[in-house]
Structure 1
Amino acid sequence: MKIAIDSCAAMHIGDRSEQQDRVGIYPHPERPGCMIAVLADGMGGHSGGAIAAEQVLLKARQNFAAYAPSSESPTEFLREVISDAHASIKLTRFTSEADPHSTAVVFMLRPGHADWAHCGDSRLYHFRHGQLISRTPDHSLVEELQRAGRITQAQAEVHPQRNLLLSCLGAENPPRTELGGTPALQVGDAFILCSDGLWAYCSDQELGRVLMEQDARSAARSLLNLARERAQGVGDNLSMAIIRVVPAS
């Protein structure tokens, strides 16, 4: 069966004074069937978060334009994007008074394949017919404590250090880059990249159901409205990129 891609990117400033999230979906300028989606959450606790997030998208677009599948593997490409963005963000410290940091999620789609990399607590979820296949692990103190069995999910949700990251772009230490992928795309596959301004208010089941039942644009609108309603006036910046695999018409 021939497939098509239904995609949408969306952002909302939430209840913050500045939008420090960035998100974009970009087709390859020369290779049909190839595209990337990129999401970055400029660190809210640092000045210059928006600058850092912009650097992630800029480096991803520049590297993707030069991406050559015959000489560079998806893994190499994804690692290089995060490494180059990290280096660029660190250089920004010396050319401005800002202290920029960012998370990053980079998703690459090729004919029949999807690959991704991330660093920080912005997430990528992979659903198939509404069922969760995988999601990226957060590089946060709270998730490390959960994985070690030292706190429960309920405790994690109210932990006083739930926003503390153990790895991000722009920090002194090199970013922790984790990779994922699926070798065979199928109709019914859906991917969502999102910042914590969205996933903090939506369960895995809710995300999967909305992505299965609605087209990408409608799903983005529904999830944005749901997060804003549940934030009750204290919501963070939120952003998302949705990629759905559908039958070709």
Structure 2
Amino acid sequence: MLVLDGTLPDDEPEPQPEPVDHGTCASCGGAYDEDGWCTQCGERRPDPRDHFSDRPAPHVAAVCDRGRRHTENQDAMAVQADEENPGRAVLVVCDGVSSAERSAEASLAAAEAAVEVLSRTGAPPTTRLVQAADAAQDAIEEVARDFPGTAPSCTFVAGVVDGGTLTVGSVGDSRAYWLPDEGEPVRLTSDDSLAEEQVRAGMSRAEAEVSPMAHTITRWLGPDTPDHTPQVHTRDVSAPGWALLCSDGLWNYASEPRDLAAVVRQGVQRAGADPLDLALALVEWANEQGGADNITVALARTGTTGQDGTHG
């Protein structure tokens, strides 16, 4: 290179890459490294799937939590609502089958596919629930194709609140309840499980639900399902109350509608009637009982009460 004045220009320093922020440790305030370990206390960064929530409108919210005893959260949920129309809501809860690989991916794919179908207008809710189960089934089969040799599976419960009516559909043992502020609470779904078969055969529900095979399901969504058509039921929910969908991580501890309604009332007293605060309180309560399973709660406030739970 020819230099006219006889001196070489100073080499410009190479730009240094900006440090990547991998997050801050909630325990000590240290920084996580690229592998997810805290550089200060060594704690592992939590998986975002361990606990997540959604509140698309003031009258609708859902929370999904790993619980205390499982190392992975195989539950999933998806909710949709319009802030300007508190008379409408879509709720979906799916619980991955722990004995089947990739069920965590399957439950999330199923919930997201179902809520997209249920959020459309045009077809009646009863039709959309069947279509939503079909879409969820297709999404799970796609997961299975992405991971050859697996048969991921999950339960399915979904609800559409519209015009004072709640329409629910279910496959498996995730449940839907209607919990009015005044009047008799009811369970709107029937489990596809050996426990439910034992109840129909004459065993008491309390005994059946603690039997060794209580949570063995007889129908599910997944490549090896015998039948994924949901059982569909409709209920008038024009009175003030709660539409509640949940996985067995919650109802394990309060199966009967009256018992669950009492837990919800306690949750309102403790946390207030905001759906997200209440859903968090219910998840916390289930963890306090032992948190033996993943816990998912989806809530929609119905009726003519204000969003703070007061009448008017």
Name the % identity: 27
Correspondences of 1:1-249 after superposition (within 5 Å): 6-14=59-67, 15-27=69-81, 33-65=87-119, 67-69=120-122, 72-97=123-148, 98-129=150-181, 131-149=184-202, 151-170=203-222, 171-183=224-236, 185-186=238-239, 188-203=240-255, 204-212=257-265, 214=268, 215=273, 216-231=275-290, 235-245=292-302, 246-248=304-306
* Preserved CA contact (<8 Å) 1:125 1:191: yes
Q: Give the partner amino acid of 1:240.
A: V
| Cα distance in structure 2, aligned partners of 1:113 and 1:12 | 28
Shift of 1:177: 1.1
Count of residues in Structure 1 that have an aligned counterpart in Structure 2: 239
Letter in 2 for 1:34: R
Q: By how many angstroms is 1:175 displaced?
A: 1.4
- Whole-angstrom distance in 2 between the partners of 1:83 and 1:236: 27
Higher RCO (CA < 8 A, seq sep 6+): 1
Q: Structure 1 stretches (4+) deviating beyond 6 angstroms?
A: 29-32
Give the partner amino acid of 2:70.
Answer: R
Asked if 2 retains the 8 angstrom alpha-carbon contact of 1:202 and 1:227, the reply is no
Shift of residue 122 of structure 1?
A: 0.4
User: Would the alpha carbon gap of residues 185 and 48 (structure 1) be closer, same or farther in structure 2, given more than 3 Å must change?
Assistant: same
Gaps of 5+ in 1: none
1:26 positional shift: 0.9
Secondary structure in 1 matching 2:219: coil
* 1:237 shift after superposition: 0.7
Unaligned runs of at least 5 residues, structure 2: 1-56, 307-311
Distance 1:173 1:30, change over 3 A: farther
1:39-63 Cα deviation digits (max 9, x unpaired): 1101111111111111222212331
| Conserved? CA contact 2:180–2:241, under 8 Å | yes
Structure with the higher helix share, 1 or 2: 1
After superposition, the CA RMSD in angstroms is 2.5
Larger radius of gyration: 2
Q: CA deviation at 1:8?
A: 2.2
CA contact under 8 A between 1:190 and 1:212: conserved in structure 2? Answer: no
Using the alignment, how far apart are the partners of 1:206 and 1:172 within structure 2? 32
TM-score with structure 2 length normalisation?
Answer: 0.69
Contact 2:118 2:160 in 1 (8 A): no
Q: Distance in 1 between matches of 2:160 and 2:213?
A: 32
> Which one has a larger percent strand, Structure 1 or Structure 2?
1
Letter in 1 for 2:214: R
How far does residue 166 in structure 1 lie from its aligned partner after superposition?
A: 0.5
Instruction: State the SS of the aligned residue for 1:56.
Output: helix
Distance 1:75 1:5 in 2: 25
Counterpart amino acid of 1:50?
A
The Cα shift of 1:94 comes to 2.3
Cα–Cα, structure 1 residues 113 and 91, in superposed 2: closer, same or farther, change >3 Å? same
- TM-fit CA distance, 1:121: 0.3
SS of 1:136 mapped into structure 2: coil
